[in-house]
Amino acid sequence: MVGRGYTIFDTAIGRCGIIWSDTGVVAVQLPEAREIDTRRRIFAIHPEAREQRPSNNAELAIEGIVSLLQGNDPDFSEVGLDAGGVPGFNRRVYEFACSIPRGETRTYHEVAKALGASGAAHSVAQAIAKNPYMLIVPCHRMLEAGNYTDRLSPYGGVISKRRLLALEGAHPVASKTLFEVLLPVAPPRPS
């Protein structure tokens, strides 16, 4: 194979996509509301990819993703990833994500501290937001302070971290309340 290939495949949550190269999996695209939207997202991010039969490595990843979305606990350790364009810090974050046990979560601050960069919680959040290896690298197990599950990678499609964590048996806080959003910006009351 020359260049990048992709395929669309069925899962319990809809039709996902996977992009790969000769080196390994380049990205996983979770389903959008419609398959055409999933394809559009793939083309927007990887216009050079051509639809093909999955490589053996991509097929191994697909089997694991399908299993995970059925509520099982697959092992992705044999799936090769193409990390050619991934910055070093992000790679460290993704390696850490893979070490978080199923059904458990860590905050961005906890991850930064574990990586020896305690002031880099924002950098961890940015790395997670750019995670191209959805589900293979379980970034949904990393949450902002307060264990809120609002954000997901651009490859996330319409599924939320909350739904992915629920499949694993974890129950973090769904989202911030209006009170929590407005309190930090509310002007102080006069005495």
139, 143, 152, 159: the catalytic one is 139
Q: Strand, coil or helix: what is 26?
A: strand
User: Structure tokens of 151?
Assistant: 């954000």
Measured N-to-C along each axis, helices 121-129 and 88-99 cross at an angle, to the nearest 10 degrees, of 90
Residue 139 among the catalytic residues: yes
Q: Which residues neighbour 154 within 8 Å (Cβ) at sequence distance 6 or greater? A: 41, 45, 129, 130
The DSSP H or E segment spanning 168 is helix 161-168
Distance CA 162, CA 185 (A): 26
In contact, 138 and 128? CB cutoff 8 Å: no
Q: Looking at the annotation, which residues are catalytic?
A: 139
